[in-house]
Structure 1
Amino acid sequence: MSFDGLPPLREVIDRHELRAKKALGQNFLLDLNLTGKIARTAGDLTRATVIEVGPGPGGLTRALLAHGARKIVAIEKDERCLAALEEISQHYPGRLEVLPGDALKTDFPRLAVPGEPVRIVANLPYNVGTELLVRWLTEKEWPPFYQSMTLMFQREVAQRIVAEPGSGAYGRLGVLAGWRTNARIAFDVPPQAFTPPPKVTSSVVHLVPRAEPLAADVGKLGKITEAAFGQRRKMLRQSLKGLGGETLLEKVGIDPTRRAETLSIEEFVRLANEA
């Protein structure tokens, strides 16, 4: 038995023949020290509903429950993992609800219980992680349905999330995350912590929504950043040509010869509000 009275994860994976599928972006996290560290990074879970995406065999799920999560709602696309998750659910009666299905088709705000805090904690499948984050950052209702997000990404993606203007990693993700949240990289996770080991280092990012981000239309800001960074080597007058180009830039007092990575979040907001 392991720390929580359930069989060791490797044994669970072997018994249920859970070989990680590349097509699903799976890398199972087995290191108990690291799953515990992620759970602690997420903060006080004792009164929270935790939303987890892609629990797989349940390594992080078990750590979250052991660290006091009041309830976990886990979305799992891989039906092979459901039996292993059901064993965890039986071990922690009433505290784990598993929803079989695709996270990209899930209405996340509906999972929240009114008046109860929600924290999103996940070792996100690599192939959907960025898209899910963008959706959570661009919720129409703000403050959003969640109190915080503690998410694992490839380190390169994590660096883009926390990037500052002027850096090579700064782009659409950095603008959206910086505009609406305080984001930081909590710690790195080496490849050997996973089965199978990915080719890259991963990082856990902790994001807390800003109560009052600068006012901007989410859709317009998305379009402006997409256009600007879609042709990041070009001057803004060229990359934003379809959205007003030089005229728009001059309206808000931005030199049309600048490039996207030099603009502050405040300047992007001004562009979105004028577009």
Structure 2
Amino acid sequence: MSKRLAGRLVVLGITGSIAAYKSPEIVRALRAEGADVQALLTPAATRFVSPLTLRTLTGHAVDADLLDLLPDGRIGHIVAADAADAILIAPATAQWIGAMASGLAGDVVTAACLATTAPVIVAPAMDGEMWAHAATQTNATRLRDDFGYALVAPESGALASGATGVGRLAETAAIVDAVVAAIGAAPIREPNESRRPPAVPAGDLSGRRIVVTAGGTEEPIDAVRILANRSSGRQGIALAEAARDRGAEVIL
């Protein structure tokens, strides 16, 4: 069975919505179609989904800071913008849609979209009243009609606020289909691997699985008293990060 995104680089922009927890699922679905995936996160998005998770799933370092450079000195979001066959924003918040509609490059996701000529696909996710607000609708319409972005409309269902309405992130299959449709039969924009976002180096611990335990412990003496320690867990976390950076699969 042929993979519809074989050889393609899809840049996944993730913004600060609770629906960001679905981004690993989107990464897996894109990779199942043969795509190489690079993740860009807004600062708020890092509070909803772990950059480590995305780094592990994509094989690329996660770009979340406009001022960060790649190890070779290149500007990460510019490399992504130049090499991407498509940029997918999923989930896209009302805040991000408004900023993008105004051309405000305050994060790596908006900056990459401003810097690219690749097709951009936007999958909004927010509370129903936020999505229905005239300001959000005006901004979304501008992205579609003035910028030519493809919109994957949110669906109706249970929302994080506890309400039910239109604002739920579209299903992963629909989002992937929209990416495939946006790219169409266009040639691969950057076939030269050296000009794409670099892969995370394997390191000398590649293929190893390491388990690290960290943090304070408690041992009961009786039903009331315990023996405990004041360990912060910081050393264990540092060891886990060092092992990860050397290529190991780490369970913390």
TM-score, normalised with respect to structure 2: 0.41
Give the structure with the larger helix fraction: 1
Give the alignment's TM-score, normalised by structure 1.
0.39
